[in-house]
Structure 1
Amino acid sequence: MLGAGIFAALGPAARAAGSGLLIGLAIACGVAYCNAMSSARLAVRYPVSGGTYVYGRERLGDFWGHLAGWGFVVGKTASCAAMALTVGSYAWPAHAREIAVAVVIGLTALNCVGVQKSAWVTRGIVAVVLAVLGAVVVAVFSSGAVEAQRWTVDTTASVPGILQAAGLLFFAFAGYARIATMAEEVRDPVRVIPRAIGVALALTLVTYVAVAAAVLGALGPDGLAASAAPVADAVRVAEIGWLVPVVGVAAVLAAGGALLALLLGVSRTTLAMARDGHLPRALAAVHPHHAVPQRAEIAIGVVVAILAATADLRSAIGFSSFAVLVYYAIANASAFTLAPGRARVIPVVGGIGCAVLAFTLPVAAVLAGVAVLTLGATVFGVRRARSG
């Protein structure tokens, strides 16, 4: 969750909503909270790999499970390539693709050794990123560059713009799904998963509010909207030159950490779909020593490396966003079938929130997302017809 989004998502959100991005952040967090509670309840009930693919299949039927898994795998594979390219662009712009491919190969090899080692790497990355972001917030606020009136929402911030900003910022919180998709590898999932999701969501919210307030206060809505690297630009405005390269290093680490988590989550959903025949069954093999789905890991790594080497997928993140919001809508629908009485309010609010944010994304992203999901539905129909 503390991946490349914290260094890049604030600018597009400001372009959509101006100073209203803070309201968008609150909306995104609210939807994410509902999704988190639904995901936690389902993960406790079904502590196996696969996340919403499994929940949708068990609670709503095979079609909805397949659609959730398809959306997650396709959408997040595109996101993996984009994260790899982000690492390459920050680390060595002149050779961004080569660096991206090398990073994908390295992280795929790490994941094949075992999730515990991957988790230790992720912890280290998060610690460094949190330290740098904390330094940025303190430095910017203490510099005198922050002007509180820049937080005031003006009349140009339209409701659709604020909702689109919420859709863009939602992915700051989307990483908690990785905990659920890897439930099969968690010790004591009934106790650990809900607590881990809650802690992760709370920590991310506090971090994003602090950073967004500092950056918006320093740059203003127009300056933030025009910035490609808002955290670094806020440090420059605050005239703290030594911190600029540190922010660049943190951005590379954050994007790498996001890529590590995404590769883990996509491979586990691939494993679950392969077990049920929605993907080639050869991908369902689990290594006898490392206890990880190495074939799925390698297959996803190869696809991501090819995409990073041949395509510019930054413009494709929109359809990935749409697909993942649909994924969470199915999670909320699945949780609705579990919850009694008043407890159904959370999945209802979460499901409606996902639908609203998905369809307020840019039109091109919505159309591409619908096309990808339609293709997935067609694949399911053809497979079902052949098996019948």
Structure 2
Amino acid sequence: MKHTLQLESISKWLPTASKPIIISGPCSAETEEQTIATAKQLAATGKVHALRAGIWKPRTRPGQYEGAGEEGLKWLIAAKKETGLPVTTEVANAAHVEACLKAGVDILWVGARTTVNPFSVQEVADSLKGVDIPVMVKNPINPDLELWIGALERLNKAGLTKLAAIHRGFSSFEKGPFRNAPMWDMAIELKTRIPELDIICDPSHISGNRELISFISQKALDLDMAGLMIESHINPDAAWSDAKQQVTPANLGKIIDGLVVRTVSSDNKTFKDTLSILREQIDQLDDEIMSKMAARMKISEKIGQYKKENGVTILQVARWEEIIQTRITLGKAMGLNADFTSDLLKLIHQESIQIQTKVMNKVEERV
């Protein structure tokens, strides 16, 4: 279901920015010297359109650096005066909003730990009624698209139209190569539901490791995201928070230079004609896949009836294991990724079980 929000694109509230929009700065504003020095080096690269720094840091456990507080806003504004670049920071409640507005912060963002709580988002929204300021909303920690959309809706209903989303990945119990699982499908679904919404990717929090930032950044641009928020510090290894995922301003420049920026479409007639032919082929194949899938489920229904008549359970573990092993092997031979084949088979199996469950638990009408 598509959602209609009254939105202004980032290009209107960051008029000097070009795609990709780059927002960068330290994870935390630690000292005035560190904040301003980082900002000046970032500005010198000529690639940054806005400066970021955490002033209030929501930490998992006490005892970790929780930010400089309102004193840090002075450093952020000083960095703005030194560089001429707009500045942004995270807010989690009405007090934060009031302090930022008073200090002259240009852009606010709602963090992942706040997005997950509608009460907190509503407090921020209420405190911004009648204020014409851009607000970016990070995805919630857990993969809940409705919470993400709900936060944007609450702000929009408060009269805020300069909105953008930040894709920073999702927490997962499973350990993988990333700090936060990208779950690109969530960002794609958000864009599908709200096409006019600009999405900024946060490769720093997705990767948790500066070595992966280039990879994540390119992936985000290939998915037509509007820009990147990358954490940068004059001395990353000495950073007071999230040291491993920050890069120096010089390395940020190299990362940006190495990115390939592609367009959404092309005016080349040959390209358009070829793409049209290929898409027609895709459409035909999709029709065949849907037809075959429907036929498969009809057979699953017959199997369910046969099991019911013979008092046999729905789940047959040995048969399922056989399907997984043989189909993945076949898929590999045909050039299909094993994880893709496994995920596809699991979805098909779940649907087959649901169909057989309905058949086996159907109460026959008595005449």
Larger Rg: 2
- Is TM more than 0.5 here? no
Q: Given the two structures, how large is their TM-score scaled by the length of structure 2?
A: 0.22
Q: Which has the higher contact order (CA 8 A, sep 6+)?
A: 1
Higher helix proportion (structure 1 or 2)? 1
Higher strand proportion (structure 1 or 2)? 2
